[in-house]
Structure 1
Amino acid sequence: MTSTQMIKFLKKNGFVQVAGGKGSHKKFYNKITGRLTVVPDHKQELGKGLEHKILKQAGLK
């Protein structure tokens, strides 16, 4: 999964981008669950470990 696909997936699941994030990273927050996660913003594939960690932080896995 690329970071662009991950961002679309998070948005479909109620996450919105919030201010912050350094460099090429974006922060996403879900009001309902209160969860916050950071996603690198590049066009490359995310590593399997990073993909798993982002989904776990978001409460989607």
Structure 2
Amino acid sequence: MKSISGKIFCKLLHLHGWQLQRIRGSHHIYTHPSRSEILTVPVHGNQDLKIGTLSKLLKDAGLTEHDF
């Protein structure tokens, strides 16, 4: 799996209808109008997300690796 940064993942979420609700420190909290999940994305500059974190966020967002 290709790793991406938290900033790029936030842009990907925005393109798929997720909305930024708030920022608490370095964590961006997203919600989607038609889903009940809440996603918390760690954004630490341009540092890549860990593979396990990325796969969990993709699964919870209903996205696949092919979406980016």
Determine if the TM-score, normalized by the shorter chain, exceeds 0.5.
yes
State the one-letter code of the partner of 1:30.
H
> How many percent identity over aligned positions?
30
Ranges in structure 2 where 5+ consecutive residues have no aligned partner? none
Ranges in structure 1 where 5+ consecutive residues have no aligned partner? none
1:44 counterpart (41, 47, 60): 47
User: What is the deviation of 1:34?
Assistant: 2.5
- The SS at the match of 2:30 is strand
Structure 1 segments of 4+ aligned residues over 6 angstroms from their partners: none
Counting only pairs closer than 5 Å after superposition, residues 10-25 of structure 1 correspond to structure 2 as 10-19=13-22, 21-25=23-27
